[in-house]
Structure 1
Amino acid sequence: MKKGILVLWVIFNSCFSQNQKLVKNLSDYEHQILPLMDKYKIPGMSVGISHNDSVVYSKGFGFANIEKEIQPDGNTPYSIASITKPFAAAVMMRLVEENKLSLDAKIKDLYPGYEERCKRILGYFREEMPEYTFMLENYHPERNDITLRHHLTHTSENMPGDQYKYNGFLFGMLSVAIETATGSKFDDLVDSMIIDRLNLKNTASSQLDKSKKGMLNKIALPYNPTESGFVRAEFPNPKLNAGAGIISSVNDLLIFDKAINNNFLVSEKAKNLQFQPYKLSSGSLSPYGYGWFTQKYKDQTLVWHYGHHPGSFSALYLKVLEKNLTLIILANSDRLSHDFDLGKGDVVKSEFAKTFLDLFVGK
């Protein structure tokens, strides 16, 4: 066999073998997550997987609408909860690159009446909703050194920069700061800089987007599990902030993922900064970067985020950087995230993520 032909044969055989393994892993993952869907009482979910920026799997399970027996698929829109944060981070980093925003700007300078509002909300929590006081009881708006960077990295509580503590409420404040700095509505920035630019057909900046009424009529309905089945739940707050509110599908999120991978939304330098663990004042590393969780697993770099609207929706977005592999799951109950305490920064706690990693990275 001539050398050139031999090389081609080796390459072909290697690619064929890799494709066979990928197909088997995809099939195995489907068979393993279906029991998990039943175990965690999830009425409907959509799953998307990409490899080398190509969609290799997109499928729905269960029901997006139980009453009408409508099954979900890769284009079914869901409220993606905190997976809004990577969108917000992309907007912020692009504005920083365009010198329209500084991460070192003080939050109090870009949030009109913010100190009074924080105190008023904390007072309300203490009186009416004590279970939510944790969101503000360790935050000190009177300080003069809390920056956008601290909010973006979840290090704004107690002494800013000293410790990581996931706090979606404080992250959500960033949208007001962005609007003050740019003079533009945050919804419009998300639309122009991401949704319209990527031509995302099944994504809306919020459930209030009247221009997406037809698409939003197809949104998966939220449910809560009961002993005998499921009961309809209330939709979460329909407004958009930096922490939550976007509606999207797994297929559109995989388009967003490809754009992130190829530095289409922000530069490679900005992307790499987002994906690196934030260095705390002590020199130790946080499990969070700039809008993304990040951790090592078996010599692989995992960059990820989760979504959790209590009582309605949940989501998982997991990237394995060295393998250029992405998993996205959207669900119409909160049970995809409910039991795993992912805010502490370890995605392996999720059985849905661990099953995926066991197959595609190795046990």
Structure 2
Amino acid sequence: MKKLVILQVLLASHSSGLAAQDPVHMGAGPHDVAAFVQRLESLREEASIPGLSVAVVKDQAIVLAAGLGYADIENGVPATAETAYDVASLAKPLSAVVALRLMETGVLDLDVPMVGYSDWGDFCTDFSEQPSIFARDLRCQPADHTLRHLLSHTATGTAGIRFSYNPVLYSWASRPIMAAADASFSNLVEEHVFMPAGMGTSARKHRDLPLREDLSQRLAPPYQVDSAGTILRAPNLSPQGDGAAGGVVTTVLDLARFDIAFDQGTLVSAESRAEMMAPTMSGSGEVLPYGLGWFVQEYQGYTLVWHSGWWEDAYSALYLKMPALDLSFILLANSEGIWWDNPLDRAEVQRSEFVQAFLQTFAGQ
């Protein structure tokens, strides 16, 4: 890994009257990294984000890792590159790695109708009758939904025809995966993602799996912003099951380790990696904006592969890859301030001001 140098940056939050000092690790290069960090700090203040952690990976080496603001306002704990966050839907690419790895070893077939090894039929019927926006237009007959449909968000309407982001169905994908592997989903993520990627400060949690103590101490508590602009500690978050759509607590440094292991072929083969990051082709031949666990879009001559995470009034996250430049950007926050309200049927990461700052600094956009 490239040698990192340390730049001390004094960061002040004018909106909240807070100040913090945190080392910014950066590698030598042609980019004005200090100006980029200051731009992130300005965006953090504008969005009233208490704490923000960032990492940039270039050529499979970490060239920037930093924390801005506060992980814990009440106790004066600054955010750092080692601060842990609940990354919400940013867990999806990690979950997809598990599915592809099991496919490679012959344990799982992404294209077999799920009714053959799960209770999909009953769930589909019950869920399709719910008032949730994610149940809208869910058709359970013919019973031909596959794991690929769930992991590519092409399960609503006629399966495989159109893209509609659906975290409920993605979360349910853990069930047939667990049935095929005869293991809990959290154990599968530990075995096939955390351990081989060296993600020692990452863990899964759900209603039956408490967060381990060392990460509980690192975890930035969530905050929300009220109508007057005041930053408040968020209420306790609702418990979740052992699903594929979320449940991961991690740091930007560990996600950078995941990024490097993913690109180096440690987690899945080059063929599986390419399949995950390729846009899905619909049954009618249309290019859709999602692969397997990743949004995929073209922007100003580049393919952008990315995922966001959003837990309303609690956490937000962003992970962007530019494969042509061997470049990745990871951003985690203890409020929803990173989120830019991406549509459910499109990929529009360029609308994020954080992404624009990154592209202007590192990709010359």
Same fold (TM over 0.5): yes
SS of equivalent to 2:200:
coil
Whole-Å Cα distance in 1 between the matches of residues 95 and 282 of structure 2? Answer: 22
Give the corresponding residue for 1:5.
none
Which of structure 1's runs of 4+ aligned residues deviate more than 6 A? none
TM-score (norm 1): 0.88
Give the corresponding residue for 2:187.
188
SS of equivalent to 1:143:
coil
Pair 98,163 (structure 1): closer, same or farther in 2 beyond 3 Å: same
Deviation (angstroms), 1:230: 1.1
**8 Å CA contact 1:274, 1:290 repeated in 2:** yes
* One-letter amino acid matched to 1:136: A
Q: For residues 46-80 of structure 1, give each alpha carbon's deviation from its aligned partner in whole angstroms, at most 9, with x where no partner exists.
A: 01111111111111111111110111111111001
Moved more, 96-105 or 290-299: 290-299
**8 Å CA contact 2:306, 2:320 repeated in 1:** yes
Pair 343,68 (structure 1): closer, same or farther in 2 beyond 3 Å: farther
Highest CA radius of gyration, 1 or 2? 1
Whole-Å Cα distance in 2 between the matches of residues 266 and 348 of structure 1? Answer: 28
**8 Å CA contact 1:77, 1:249 repeated in 2:** yes
Whole-Å Cα distance in 2 between the matches of residues 243 and 211 of structure 1? Answer: 17
Give the corresponding residue for 2:30.
21
Give the corresponding residue for 1:214.
214
Pair 215,136 (structure 1): closer, same or farther in 2 beyond 3 Å: same
- Aligned pair 1:256/2:258, yes or no? yes
TM-score (norm 2): 0.87
Give the corresponding residue for 1:309.
311
User: How many percent identity over aligned positions?
Assistant: 30
Deviation (angstroms), 1:137: 2.1
Pair 214,182 (structure 1): closer, same or farther in 2 beyond 3 Å: same
Higher helix share: 1
Whole-Å Cα distance in 2 between the matches of residues 64 and 238 of structure 1? Answer: 23
Give the corresponding residue for 1:283.
285
* One-letter amino acid matched to 2:273: K
SS of equivalent to 1:335:
coil
Whole-Å Cα distance in 1 between the matches of residues 66 and 242 of structure 2? Answer: 27
* One-letter amino acid matched to 1:201: G
Whole-Å Cα distance in 1 between the matches of residues 344 and 66 of structure 2? Answer: 24
Aligned residues: 336
Structure 2: tracts of 5 or more residues without a match? 1-26
**8 Å CA contact 2:198, 2:257 repeated in 1:** no
**8 Å CA contact 2:163, 2:345 repeated in 1:** no
Higher strand share: 2
**8 Å CA contact 1:306, 1:342 repeated in 2:** no
Pair 275,183 (structure 1): closer, same or farther in 2 beyond 3 Å: same
Structure 1: tracts of 5 or more residues without a match? 1-17, 127-132
